[in-house]
């Protein structure tokens, strides 16, 4: 009589990370955190402490609220104008880029038309073209229709998002079954109704991803508004704070603008942090679009 014995169940084994990998990870984290720590620490100092104390540690006195108050009142509250401009430019660009990308990506994924493969190849090639390379052509075109030095000169070029089109196309192909669309057509639903009531709700993770990428890109955009805008009342935060820094550099170390520029940089990143916190779960879902079919 034979005795059957059950072999011990093999458990997964995770090899411990080497000390070299841990060190590399710590260095990478420090590389990204040091600039943030520097901005946070130095935004609490006045101009004297800014140049007389260690830059990665706090001073003896806390001047954050004084810096914020000075920031809001400098040049008649010009920072608030720049902040409002940045919000308008970023939201308009992100919403426009998201809608255009969703329409274009859905059309490329689910409609057959002549030249589709050429158009897809062109969009993929545009993903690899740096945005700065398109600034001067955009300036020449917009100057022909008198849109230079207006908010539209910043918003319209920022609505171009080849990466968004590519991401939406992949998401539609992998996550939206064609049977659902065919069933809607059998029920006599029009193409726009299918897109608006069926496709868009299913695209939510990808839409949030495109929205966040476009929002961050527009919020941090510097070269485009620098070329397009000539009046400081239209400046976004990037160009405005740079103009203050240039003015402070000309005035020397006694200029109060140095600590205002640092405090303004700290305030400028707060909306982006809030956006990522609230939209993170959708953003992660969009990043993984197409990874699991």
**51 and 130 assigned to the same domain:** no
Identify the pLDDT of residue 50. 84
Q: Are residues 214 and 267 in the same domain?
A: yes
- The domain total for the chain is 2
- Which pLDDT value is given to residue 15? 47
Upper half-sphere CA count for residue 171 (Cβ side, 13 Å): 30
Report residue 98 as tokens: 């998201």
10-residue block means of pLDDT along the chain (293 residues)?
48 60 89 90 88 85 91 93 97 96 94 89 90 92 94 95 93 89 90 92 90 93 95 95 90 76 93 84 57 44
3-class secondary structure for 239-293?
HHHHHHHHHHHHHCCCCCHHHHHHHHHHHHHHHHHHHHHHHHHHHHHHHCCCCCC
Within a domain: residue 211? yes
CATH of the domain at 240: 1.10.3720.10
Given this model, what pLDDT does residue 153 score?
Answer: 96
Claim to verify: residue 46 and residue 130 sit in the same structural domain: no
Residue 11 lies in a domain: no
Q: Which pLDDT score is estimated for 170? A: 92
Q: Are residues 34 and 75 in the same domain?
A: no
Residue among 69, 46, 42 nearest 58 (CA): 42
* Claim to verify: residue 42 and residue 180 sit in the same structural domain: no
What is the span of the domain harbouring residue 52? 24-62
CA dihedral 48, 53, 57, 58 (to 10 degrees): -40
| Same-domain check for residues 109 and 161 | yes
Question: Where among 62, 87, 117 does a domain terminate?
Answer: 62
Same domain for 82 and 37: no
Q: Residue 161: its pLDDT value, please?
A: 92
56 with 172, same domain? Answer: no
Is the same domain home to 46 and 111?
no
Boundary of a domain, candidates 62, 91, 113: 62
Determine, yes or no, domain membership for 183: yes
Residues 133 and 275 in one domain: yes
């Amino acid at each position: 009589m034979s005795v059957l014995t059950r072999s011990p169940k093999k458990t997964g084994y995770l090899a411990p990370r080497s000390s070299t990998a841990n060190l590399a990870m710590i260095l990478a984290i420090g590389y990204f955190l040091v600039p943030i720590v520097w901005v946070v620490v130095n935004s609490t100092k006045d101009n004297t402490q800014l140049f007389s104390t260690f830059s990665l540690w706090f001073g003896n006195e806390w001047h954050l609220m004084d810096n914020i108050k000075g920031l809001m009142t400098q040049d008649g509250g010009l920072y608030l104008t720049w902040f409002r401009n940045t919000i308008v430019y970023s939201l308009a660009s992100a919403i426009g880029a998201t809608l255009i990308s969703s329409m274009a990506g859905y059309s490329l994924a689910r409609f057959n038309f002549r030249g589709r493969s050429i158009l897809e190849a062109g969009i993929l090639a545009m993903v690899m073209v740096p945005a700065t390379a398109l600034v001067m052509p955009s300036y020449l075109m917009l100057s022909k229709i008198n849109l230079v030095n207006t908010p539209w000169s910043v918003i319209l070029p920022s609505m171009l998002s080849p990466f968004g089109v590519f991401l939406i196309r992949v998401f539609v192909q992998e996550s939206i079954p064609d049977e659902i669309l065919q069933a809607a057509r059998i029920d006599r639903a029009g193409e726009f109704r299918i897109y608006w009531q069926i496709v868009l709700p299913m695209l939510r993770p990808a839409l949030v991803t495109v929205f966040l990428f476009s929002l961050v890109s527009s919020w941090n955009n510097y070269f485009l508004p620098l070329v397009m805008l000539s009046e400081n009342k239209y400046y976004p935060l990037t160009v405005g704070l740079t103009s203050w820094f240039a003015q402070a550099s000309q005035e020397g170390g006694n200029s109060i603008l140095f600590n205002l520029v640092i405090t303004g940089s700290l305030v400028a990143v707060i909306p982006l942090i809030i956006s990522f916190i609230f939209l993170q779960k959708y953003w992660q879902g969009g990043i993984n679009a197409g990874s699991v079919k």
